[in-house]
Every structure is written in C-alpha cells, then in structure tokens.
C-alpha cells in the first residue's frame, strides 16, 4: 500500500485552473493543468496534494480525478476555512501551487478477486472516486461491487450524475441515502449504515473502503464488523490537521502515526486501538 516518494516533495509546482465547477452549495471541483510543460501527474487513488493559494495559505486536498487520466489534476473541495473559501472564488487561468502526491492509497490492486464495498458520506465520496474509476476500469477482476453513499439532503448529493451512471451499470450496485428529505424525494432516507444490509455482498470475501466524517466511519466500521467483515479487510481514510505532508512537522500526529505519511488510508486492524481513543 505504500507509495514511492517523489524526488522533491517540498517543491511547489504551478498549475493553472482550467475549470471550476460548483458541485453542491459549499463544495466545488477544480480541474488543474501544469502551467509549464505537459507532464502528467500520476497518483494513486486515495492520495492527496497540498494546494497552495499564493498569499493565502496551503491546504491538504484529496485527489478526486480518474487515475487513468493523469494529465489533468482534479480536486473536489469543501469551502470551510480561509484558504478553501478563497479557492472557491478562483477563475479559469488562476494559478495554484501544487505539492504531492502524498500519502497511502486505497488497496485497489490487492482487492482483486474480492467483493468491494465502498461506503462514503458527504464530501468523503471525493477521495473514493479515483478508486471507483480504477475498479470500474478493471471491473472483471472484482466480485460484487457495491457503492453506498450518504448525504445530508438530496441537494447535498455529490457527483449525482456519476452515481446515476455507475448505478445504471449492470455490474455495479449503487445505493444512496439522505438524512432528511422533502416529501417528493423517492430515494432512501436514513443513515448510510442502513444500506449495508441491502448490498448483497459476501462479508467473508469483502474488502471495504470507508471515507466520510469520522463519526460516520466509526458506525460504518461497526456495521461492517457486525456483518462479518474482518478488521484487516476494512480500510478507511482519516483526516487530521496536515501541514508539511511529509511526516516532518508533527501537526497530524495520531497516536504513533502521522496521518500525512502513514495515512490517510489506514487498514483498520492497524489503527483499531487509537481509533477508540477519544483524546486523539
């Protein structure tokens, strides 16, 4: 699962904003291309970049694009703080500094032969999208493929058209739920864990990837475990206050791990003990 280091991971590369798309009310997607040259930007599903907005600051953002199309760098961002709110105002042609890619990846290749269950909540679908693209590109190598997604309301559903497209495939099961909905909503209402029982996967042959708010991850891991998915077959993406992204500054220390270097994707059995520590 470890990903080889790039030569100079502290060096900033200028990228041009090619497109800005509003996904939902506070979440947007930036499509970037290198300002100089046409080099591709290879990455593994689950990795993140440090995006720098000159004069404002730098933030860690997961890559949400298709790993088979590395010539464009895609990031889906929720505008929460000063930097991300400023990024939301970027226009085509603006320059963004990029360092990366960093961190561990979803074990997409290792999951070959297994049923794969993706559980995502809110904007947590973004770091999982590259894994979904990678699995669909080699769909024949996997067993049942299940994507379960939870959002706050129908208006907050991220990548709605893609979810519909994936769900329209005969070989992929997609189920979406929201926490609350108006009366004209025809889909599911309830927590994302309520979808797990309808997935039709075989727990003993399943590998699960989970990403979303930490509370959601906790309940999802519990529900998977209750159904018989082993801890060493559950992977999750953690989020902490990452600054340097190379395990140097210690801001994202989590027990004995640095989330930027040892994560953000962790196998659950390796972090189960620290996962339960409330003070961390």
Is the four-CA dihedral 103, 232, 206, 119 of positive or negative sign? negative
Q: Please say whether the beta carbons of 6 and 23 come within 8 A.
A: no
The answer to the question of residue 185 lying near another protein (CB under 8 A) is: yes
- Could you count the other beta carbons within 10 Å of the beta carbon of residue 49? 27
Query: Segment contacting another protein (CB under 8 A): 28-36, 37-45, 132-140, 181-189?
Result: 181-189
Query: Segment contacting another protein (CB under 8 A): 35-43, 56-64, 129-137, 265-273?
Result: 56-64
Q: What mask of x and - would describe binding to another protein in positions 206 to 245, judged by CB under 8 A? A: ------xx-xx--x-------------------x-x----
Q: Please say whether the beta carbons of 50 and 99 come within 8 A.
A: yes
The answer to the question of residue 119 lying near another protein (CB under 8 A) is: no
The answer to the question of residue 59 lying near another protein (CB under 8 A) is: yes
CA distances from 18 to 33, 59, 69, 93, 96 (A): 7, 19, 15, 6, 11
Residue from 13, 44, 78, 99 binding another protein (CB under 8 A): 78
What's the min distance (Å) between Cβ of 189 and another protein? 4
Nearer to another protein, 114 or 265 (CB): 265
Is the four-CA dihedral 231, 236, 241, 243 of positive or negative sign? positive
Residue among 81, 160, 90 nearest 125 (CA): 160
Tell me the site size for another protein, rule CB under 8 A: 48
Distance CA 212, CA 122 (A): 6
Residue among 32, 98, 107 nearest 71 (CA): 32
Nearer to another protein, 162 or 179 (CB): 179
**Site of interaction with another protein (CB under 8 A):** 26, 59-62, 76-78, 80-84, 121-124, 126-127, 150-152, 156, 177, 179-191, 193-194, 197-198, 212-213, 215-216, 219, 239, 241
């Amino acid at each position: 699962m470890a990903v080889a280091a790039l030569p100079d991971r502290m060096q900033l590369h200028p990228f041009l904003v090619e497109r800005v798309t509003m996904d939902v009310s506070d979440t947007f997607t930036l499509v970037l291309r290198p300002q100089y040259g046409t080099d591709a930007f290879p990455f593994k599903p689950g990795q993140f970049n440090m995006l720098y907005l000159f004069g404002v600051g730098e933030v860690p953002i997961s890559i949400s694009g298709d790993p088979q199309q590395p010539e464009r760098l895609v990031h889906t961002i929720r505008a929460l703080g000063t930097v991300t709110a400023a990024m939301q105002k970027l226009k085509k042609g603006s320059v963004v500094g990029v360092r990366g890619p960093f961190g561990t990846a979803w074990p997409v290749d290792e999951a070959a032969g297994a049923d794969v269950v993706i559980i995502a909540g809110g904007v947590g679908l973004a770091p999982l999208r590259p894994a979904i693209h990678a699995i669909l590109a080699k769909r024949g190598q996997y067993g049942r493929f299940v994507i379960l997604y939870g959002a706050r309301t129908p208006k907050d559903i991220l990548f709605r058209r893609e979810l519909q497209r994936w769900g329209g495939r005969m070989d992929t099961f997609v189920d979406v739920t929201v926490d609350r909905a108006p009366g004209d909503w025809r889909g599911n209402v309830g927590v994302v864990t309520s979808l797990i029982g309808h997935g039709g996967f075989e727990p003993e042959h399943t590998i699960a990837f989970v990403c979303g708010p930490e509370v959601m991850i906790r309940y999802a891991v519990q529900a998977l475990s209750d159904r018989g998915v082993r801890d060493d077959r559950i992977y999750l993406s953690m989020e902490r206050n990452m600054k340097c992204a190379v395990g140097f500054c210690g801001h994202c220390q989590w027990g004995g791990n640095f989330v930027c270097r040892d994560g953000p994707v962790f196998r659950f059995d390796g972090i189960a003990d620290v996962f339960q520590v409330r003070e961390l």
